[in-house]
């Protein structure tokens, strides 16, 4: 977003990310700006930065995206051990990336196994691990990092364009 756009967003002081996700979550988030460093910035520090996201918007993104490869984050949730409810914005096939079993809506999902989820609230229970990540399953695996491919070639774009 431009600095002018961020100024208007901050002046309005209205969180927008949840509403945007409810309209249809994107297939990925490209964390190409410090404002989107979901694993490094806190909602409090973002809120204090006049060009940062509003704290609630950063919390929504942090809760609904997981790291995939480099600056690419994909829809997903981290689920702590115990029982909870999770809200899914992107209907689709998800995979249990954690070392333990995940129980979603009463169905066991073993590590590296897939589950199809609709958008909405689901019961979730993680067992056997302190944290289990559920990620959007479209990408099979990240590509290996290139040593150098030239200026006009991007293995990440090639991968995202390839049929799965």
pTM of the model: 0.77
Q: How far apart are CA 1 and CA 80, in angstroms?
A: 33
Q: DSSP assignment of 2-20, as one string?
A: -HHHHHHHHHHT---HHHH
pLDDT tens digits for range 3-29: 888 999 999 999 999 999 999 878 889
Residue whose pair of structure tokens reads 């756009």 in the numeric block: 5
Instruction: Please give the C-alpha separations between residue 31 and each of 58, 62, 106, 115, in angstroms, as whole numbers.
Output: 12, 12, 34, 27
Q: How far apart are CA 77 and CA 116, in angstroms?
A: 14
Of the candidates 146, 139, 1, the one whose C-alpha atom is nearest the C-alpha of residue 74 is 139
> CB 152: neighbour CB atoms within 10 A?
5
pLDDT tens digits for range 98-152: 888 889 999 999 988 989 999 999 999 888 665 566 665 555 666 677 666 555 5
Q: How far apart are CA 109 and CA 93, in angstroms?
A: 12
Task: Identify the pLDDT of residue 1.
Answer: 73
pLDDT tens digits for range 48-95: 988 899 999 999 999 999 888 889 998 888 888 877 889 999 888 888
Cβ atoms 117, 91 nearer than 8 A: yes
Instruction: Please give the C-alpha separations between residue 80 and each of 33, 61, 113, 124, 148, in angstroms, as whole numbers.
Output: 28, 17, 18, 9, 39
Name the band, by pLDDT with cuts 50, 70 and 90, for residue 41: very high
Name the band, by pLDDT with cuts 50, 70 and 90, for residue 2: confident
């Amino acid at each position: 977003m431009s600095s002018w756009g961020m100024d208007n967003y901050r002046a309005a002081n209205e969180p927008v990310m949840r509403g945007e996700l409810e309209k249809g979550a994107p297939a990925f988030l490209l964390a190409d700006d410090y404002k989107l460093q979901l694993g490094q910035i806190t909602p409090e520090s973002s809120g204090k930065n006049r060009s940062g996201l509003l704290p609630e918007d950063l919390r929504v993104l942090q809760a609904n995206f997981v790291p995939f490869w480099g600056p690419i984050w994909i829809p997903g949730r981290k689920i702590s051990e115990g029982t909870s409810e999770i809200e899914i914005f992107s209907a689709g096939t998800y995979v249990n990336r954690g070392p333990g079993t995940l129980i979603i809506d009463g169905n066991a999902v073993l590590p590296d196994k897939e589950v199809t989820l609709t958008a909405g609230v689901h019961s979730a229970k993680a067992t056997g691990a302190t944290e289990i990540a559920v990620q959007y399953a479209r990408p099979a695996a990240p590509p290996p990092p290139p040593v150098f491919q030239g200026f006009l070639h991007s293995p990440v774009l090639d991968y995202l364009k390839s049929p799965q």
